Structure 1
Amino acid sequence: MQRKLVALAAIALLSSGGVMAQARTSAPEPEYTYSFNVGAVTDYRYRGISQSRLRPAIQGGADFSHKSGFYIGTWASSIRWIEDAGGDASVEVDVYGGYKTTFGDFGMDVGVLRYLYPNSSLPVNPNTTEVYIAGTWGPATLKYSHSTTNLFGFADSKNSGYLDLSATFDTGFWGLTVTPHVGHQRVRNNSAASYTDWSIGLGKDFGNGLTASLAYVDTDTDVYLAPSGRNLGRSGVVLGVKYGF
């Protein structure tokens, strides 16, 4: 009887050790992941300039990534600036793809992004292609985007560039993050349209895919105007909500 008890105890110990070892083994990385998102903002600001005439916009996108680091995605938003410029497009559709990798604590992201404005009917095609490279170290990311076409309808503006620095910090309070940002848009052969933008935002993840953001945005330009004459680069506060699934 005593030997049976010892044997049973040994089997139990080995079994529990196997379970613990299995629990310590992380699940294998999936071959690929995909996600979708929908949201709304009180003002669609891109590089500090309102794309929605300082009014709300609805947005959504989809992303697909492979464990090798390659990814593709698309994103869309309602806009008003094409109509304000005399065109017909009421939506912006972005298509992008690239590759992400890490070297120790340093991350790198390279890719290409195509901005599409279906049926825009502007004198200069606003559809724009940019290639970009970004480096991340700790909370900070430095990114440069270079246009290989005319930039957003500016004539003879190929090879324009946008350089920006941003970071994300966890405040340690209620799950809030702080995101400061500064960037400079150079529009080639149109120095009057070049400008600097900056912002600081707060973000909150409520779980189950729901996030919210609040940001103060400003620029140093007053040449981007709505039909009413309002400065589309004026300082403002933008509230956003997004649901990912």
Structure 2
Amino acid sequence: MKKMVLAAAVLAMTAGSAFSADLYTKAVKAPPPAAFDPWDIAFGSAIMNDYIFRGITQSNHNPSVAAYFEPRYNVTKDLQLYIGTSGESISFANRAAAEIDVYGGIRPTFGAFAFDFGVWGYLYPGGTCFFGAPTDPAGKPLSPECAANILPDGNVMKKDVSFFEVYGKVNYTINDNWQFGLNEYYSPNFLNSGAWGDYASVTGKYTAPATVFGTSGVGMYVSGEFGRQFLGTTDSFYGTTFTNPGFAGPFPNGIKYADYNTWNIGIGFTYKVFTLDLRYSDTDLSKGNCNAFTSAFNSAGTSNITSINPTGAGSNWCGAAGIAKLSADLTAMTNLK
């Protein structure tokens, strides 16, 4: 009897060991990992009631449309290379057809820090020179086309105002709700004016919990930015020989654009690939300095005299503005599978 019990026990242990080993083998055997596809494409479009860039309207406070296309290559999950192009409808004094942007860079990520370094080119094709005099303020002859075109308010603008910037950005994610960022952009020839430009800003964003609107799929965020645009001295094309009582000029060789602060704050709502962003934007630029900087084609008045704006004409292109923007943003890997 003892022998039978012992034999049964040995058989049970042997069978049990074999069964356990089989379970263990099946438990650790994972399916082959999915192939890593480093390529992706982001693209989208938007419509807005006003195209504001660093606090200044680019569309004369009229509606604007935009679209972009951005191929991406993920070297690793923490390192991305990208190039892109985008376009926006604008309303400039030189009647440029549109703004066409070409850009590229690298986006490395280190834990909660996401960096972005690159070069951004702003192209404005189809422009016309407006000056209304045979020579520039320094006496340099202008082309017949340039001398023949006059803006009603007396402002001047080059045919081509294309330029480029190099930039560096960092975004720090505290948790699922809070993010903060720093941005820096530099151009040696801002708007092809001859003046250098440097823009620095801080940003913040709060994203509401996904459950704030229940199971509707609607998300919400609040975000804002505060920045300062530093600017140098233009070339002689934008200089002035005009004099006015109390005016510090003349400046035939160029004017020193006024530095200015700009800020915006807004609330956004997201649903699938769509975003509705409602925002308030403003600057501390005076109407006179705004006129000198933008060469607005619809400035008016004579009382907005500043050291760089002796005619006294003023522009509202740099003042407070409300922006409503509806956009759609997709990526091939996420939305087109």
TM-score, normalised to structure 2, is 0.62
Question: What amino acid maps onto 2:290 in structure 1?
Answer: Y
2:264 paired with 1:199? yes
User: Residue in 2 aligned with 1:224?
Assistant: 290
Residues 126-137 of structure 1: pairs in structure 2 closer than 5 A: 126-137=161-172
Q: CA deviation at 1:15?
A: 8.7
User: Residue in 2 aligned with 1:235?
Assistant: 320
2:123 paired with 1:116? yes
> CA, structure 1 residues 177+16, in 2 after alignment: closer, same or farther (shift >3 Å)?
farther
The question of whether the paired residues in 2 share the 8 Å contact of 1:29 and 1:67 is answered with no
Q: CA deviation at 1:26?
A: 7.1
User: Residue in 1 aligned with 2:180?
Assistant: 140
The question of whether the paired residues in 2 share the 8 Å contact of 1:41 and 1:238 is answered with yes
| Alignment root-mean-square deviation, CA | 2.7
> CA, structure 1 residues 201+15, in 2 after alignment: closer, same or farther (shift >3 Å)?
farther
**Which piece of structure 1 moves more, 232-241 or 25-34?**
25-34
Match of 2:228 among 184, 188, 208: 184
Match of 2:84 among 66, 70, 73: 73
**Paired residue total:** 232
Structure 2, unaligned runs of 5 or more = 1-11, 130-156, 174-178, 214-218, 234-254, 300-314, 331-337
The question of whether the paired residues in 1 share the 8 Å contact of 2:229 and 2:260 is answered with yes
Q: Deviations along 1:130-173, whole A, 9 cap, x unmatched?
A: 1111122221111111103x21142x21x321111112211333
Question: What amino acid maps onto 1:130 in structure 2?
Answer: E
User: Residue in 2 aligned with 1:152?
Assistant: 191
SS of alignment partner, residue 290 of structure 2: coil
Identity of aligned residues (%): 27
2:259 paired with 1:212? no
Q: CA deviation at 1:120?
A: 1.7
TM-score, normalised to structure 1, is 0.83
Give the Cα separation in 2 of the matches to 1:239 and 1:34: 26
The question of whether the paired residues in 2 share the 8 Å contact of 1:41 and 1:240 is answered with yes
Question: What amino acid maps onto 2:115 in structure 1?
Answer: M
User: Residue in 1 aligned with 2:199?
Assistant: 162
SS of alignment partner, residue 63 of structure 1: strand
User: Residue in 1 aligned with 2:27?
Assistant: 17
Q: CA deviation at 1:103?
A: 2.4
Q: Deviations along 1:63-111, whole A, 9 cap, x unmatched?
A: 1111122100011100002xxx2x2313100000001102232222110
Question: What amino acid maps onto 2:163 in structure 1?
Answer: T
Question: What amino acid maps onto 1:140 in structure 2?
Answer: F
> CA, structure 1 residues 31+80, in 2 after alignment: closer, same or farther (shift >3 Å)?
same
Q: CA deviation at 1:217?
A: 0.5
Give the Cα separation in 1 of the matches to 2:119 and 2:207: 29
Q: CA deviation at 1:224?
A: 2.7
SS of alignment partner, residue 27 of structure 2: helix
> CA, structure 1 residues 26+80, in 2 after alignment: closer, same or farther (shift >3 Å)?
farther
Give the Cα separation in 2 of the matches to 1:48 and 1:212: 19
Structure 1, unaligned runs of 5 or more = none
**Which piece of structure 1 moves more, 128-137 or 185-194?**
185-194
Q: CA deviation at 1:27?
A: 4.5
